[in-house]
């Protein structure tokens, strides 16, 4: 009989958080700070502690408020901040393996795109952003087919009826992750319309994450890209 997985795993007790400092050893990637619901001081404290626990690579904080971004700017001047994507990166990313095309239907989708791109970079792949190529002007997307074909993974970010992932699914054969967003005119039910559209795509091979979840799509895309190029690495 195999030994059970140990219950006690290394954690770093910050009082307000129990950081999983062994996660990189188990999964290949360190824990990420979700800024939602945290005070600016908690965000800075957790991000700094994660960086100290993983000095050889970058760590990430997402969903940051304006106040948390300002606190990071003051107390972590070496951090790279993206106000539009609402993320902070501390440390140098590992050498990338594989390319992820992060495609935006419209400029309104850029906050999700930037969150996704930052995640892809921290999780060990190269993001390539293709912006404002929604299906209302299909020629814009068709002119970028070579860039799509060069990627190991494509993330398609779209709101409204979220037709972009289905169209891309008919143009390429790479793994394709759809990210429905909560933008659009009228009653789009906070992205529910886009989410259902991506779930019901008629293009084969389209998988979808939750509404506005650029982080989740970025994690999955980077891991697929790394394995595609790195020969089965975690």
In terms of domains, do 126 and 83 share one? no
Q: Point out which residues pair with 5 in neighbouring strands.
A: none
Q: Which domain holds residue 47?
A: 12-90
In terms of domains, do 80 and 195 share one? no
Q: Using the 3D structure, point to which of 90, 116, 140 is the last residue of a domain.
A: 90
In terms of domains, do 86 and 108 share one? no
Q: Using the 3D structure, point to which of 65, 90, 115 is the last residue of a domain.
A: 90
In terms of domains, do 196 and 105 share one? yes
Query: What SS3 state is found at 137?
Result: helix
CATH of the domain at 126: 3.40.50.1970
Q: Point out which residues pair with 210 in neighbouring strands.
A: none
Domain annotation covers residue 7: no
pTM above 0.85, yes or no: yes
Exposure pattern of 15-39 as b/e (b: 16+ CB <10 Å)? eebebbbbbbeeebbbbbbebeebe
In terms of domains, do 177 and 213 share one? yes
pLDDT tens-digit readout, 147-168: 999 999 999 999 999 999 999 9
Domains: count for the chain: 2
pLDDT tens-digit readout, 18-59: 999 999 999 999 999 999 999 999 999 999 999 999 998 999
In terms of domains, do 82 and 104 share one? no
């Amino acid at each position: 009989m195999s030994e059970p997985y140990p219950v006690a795993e290394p954690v770093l007790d910050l009082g307000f958080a129990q950081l999983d400092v062994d996660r990189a050893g188990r999964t290949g990637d360190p824990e990420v700070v979700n800024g939602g619901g945290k005070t600016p001081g908690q965000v800075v404290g957790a991000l700094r502690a994660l960086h100290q626990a993983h000095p050889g690579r970058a760590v990430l904080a997402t969903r940051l408020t304006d106040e948390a971004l300002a606190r990071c700017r003051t107390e972590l001047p070496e951090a790279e901040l993206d106000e539009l994507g609402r993320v902070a990166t501390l440390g140098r990313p590992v050498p990338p393996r594989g390319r992820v095309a992060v495609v935006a239907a419209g400029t309104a989708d850029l906050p999700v795109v930037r969150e996704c791109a930052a995640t892809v970079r921290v999780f060990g792949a190269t993001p390539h952003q293709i912006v404002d190529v929604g299906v209302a002007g299909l020629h814009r997307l068709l002119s970028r087919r070579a860039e799509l074909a060069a990627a190991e993974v494509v993330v398609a970010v779209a709101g409204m009826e979220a037709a972009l992932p289905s169209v891309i699914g008919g143009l390429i054969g790479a793994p394709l992750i759809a990210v429905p967003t909560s933008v659009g005119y009228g009653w789009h039910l906070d992205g529910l319309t886009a989410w259902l559209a991506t779930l019901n795509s008629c293009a084969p091979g389209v998988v979808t994450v939750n509404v506005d979840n650029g982080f989740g799509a970025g994690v999955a895309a980077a891991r697929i890209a790394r394995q595609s190029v790195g020969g089965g690495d975690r």
